[in-house]
Structure 1
Amino acid sequence: MTLTFELDPEVDGALRDGITELWTDVSDAGGAVGFVPPVTADDIRPELDKHLVAMAEGHTRLLIGRDEDGAVAATVFLALNAHRLMRHWLWLYTVMVHPRHQGKGYGRDLMDAAERAARGMDGIEAVRLTCRGGTGVDRFYASCGYKEVGRVPDAIRVADGDDRDDIIMLLPLGL
């Protein structure tokens, strides 16, 4: 089985709820997507709303992956740069695959779909993302072709006494 990907889906209550549930489940499973467990849907909604506002303003695009049941199983937000000197690359944010689907290759499928989406955007020459050190996810991104281009030591405070590096990674699209 594979995921079915859709770029710029219509945002309705069902999609909003599906992303909220996904984000909550990923966070509670220890995923490094802006929260530390435990979280509730009420914790997630304000952050999701910020992404949705950026989408409505045309600054961000959403790529979702649905599983065989039609449930939201994966997401990534593609944020365009507003700065006139940096419009040739975009950011990936909130890269998530539901814990029940991890280990099936869906993360790589999501990253491939995000790369295809970026390649389909006029003028985009590279994709950047950041990830939390100490999780091992940087090795996953490296296996998808991303290279570490920067690191800010102890930039992310997960808990008192538990600071993690903020790792900046880049995928040149070689247009």
Structure 2
Amino acid sequence: MALTFELDPSFTPALRDGITALWADVTNAGGAVGFVPPVTPEEIRPDLLKHLTAMERGTVRLLVGRDEDGAVAATAFLTLNEHRLMKHWLWLYTVMVHPRLQGQGCGRDLMAAAADAARSIEGIEAIRLTCRGGTGNDRFYAACGYKEVGRIPDAIRVAPGDDREDIVMLLPLGSASGPATP
């Protein structure tokens, strides 16, 4: 299934609810997107509100992927650096593909769309992201062209006695064609 991607869509109550439901579905399926299951949409809303506040300030851009029915099926938040020495790269946060679509190439499509979106922002030369160790997400991001640039041991506490590495990854954007797809 192909998704249709849009950068900076109009933020409506339906989009808000779609992102909230996606975030809960991804988390409850075991996705490492800031929560541990079980989680409800109501528990997600405060974190989404933080993203929305940053979007209003102009420091965060939203990339949404929709399925053929127009439902929210994927997201990524591109967060600009406000530090004057780091404005040449941005952070990619809350990268999600609905569990029913995982394993169908939609994640790679989302990552390619995120790289294209970052290239459209003047002065951006690279994307950084972090992922939770022990999930395999680092292998996925590496397959999308990202390079591991650091690991912070025991930085993420999933549960008492279950600490994970915080893996930092980087994608230099280079030319408009970007890195070769493996």
Name the TM-score, length of structure 1 as normaliser: 0.99
Partner of 1:72: 72
1:73-94 CA-to-partner distances (Å, cap 9, x unmatched) read: 0000000000000000000000
- Rounded to whole Å, the distance in 2 between the matches of 1:45 and 1:174 is 36
Corresponding residue for residue 179 of structure 2: none
What is the CA–CA distance in structure 2 between the aligned matches of 1:67 and 1:29, rounded to whole Å? 19
| Partner residue in 2 for 1:107 | 107
Name the counterpart of 1:3.
3
Distance 1:47 1:120 in 2: 26
For 1:61 and 1:163, the matched residues in 2 are separated by: 30
Distance in 1 separating the partners of 2:5 and 2:125: 22
- Match of 2:146, as an amino acid? Y
Aligned match of 1:44 = 44
4+ aligned runs moved over 4 Å, structure 1: none
Match of 2:82 in 1: 82
RMSD: 0.5
The residue that corresponds to 1:59 in the other structure is: 59
Q: How does 1:88-167 map to 2 (within 5 A)?
A: 88-167=88-167
Q: 1:174 Cα shift?
A: 1.6
What do the CA deviations read for 1:10-37 (whole angstroms, capped 9, x no partner)?
A: 0010000000000000000010000000
By how many angstroms is 1:139 displaced? 0.2
Query: What SS class does the counterpart of residue 34 from structure 1 fall into?
Result: coil
CA distance in structure 1 between the partners assigned to 2:172 and 2:5 by the alignment: 22
Q: TM-score by structure 2 length?
A: 0.95
Q: Distance in 1 between matches of 2:71 and 2:102?
A: 15
Equivalent position amino acid for 2:47 in 1: E
State the distance in 2 between where 1:13 and 1:42 align.
14
In the alignment, structure 1 residue 172 sits paired with structure 2 residue 161: no
Identical amino acids, percent of aligned pairs? 77
Query: SS of the counterpart of 1:130?
Result: strand
Aligned partners of 1:61, 1:166: CA distance in 2, in Å? 23
SS of the aligned residue for 2:117 comes to helix
Q: How many residues align?
A: 175
Structure 1: 5+ residue runs without aligned partners? none
Partner of 1:25: 25
AA aligned to 1:131 is C
Between the aligned partners of 2:82 and 2:38, the Cα distance in structure 1 is 34
Q: Which runs of 5+ in 2 are unaligned?
A: 176-182
Aligned-partner Cα distance in 2 for 1:125–1:68: 32
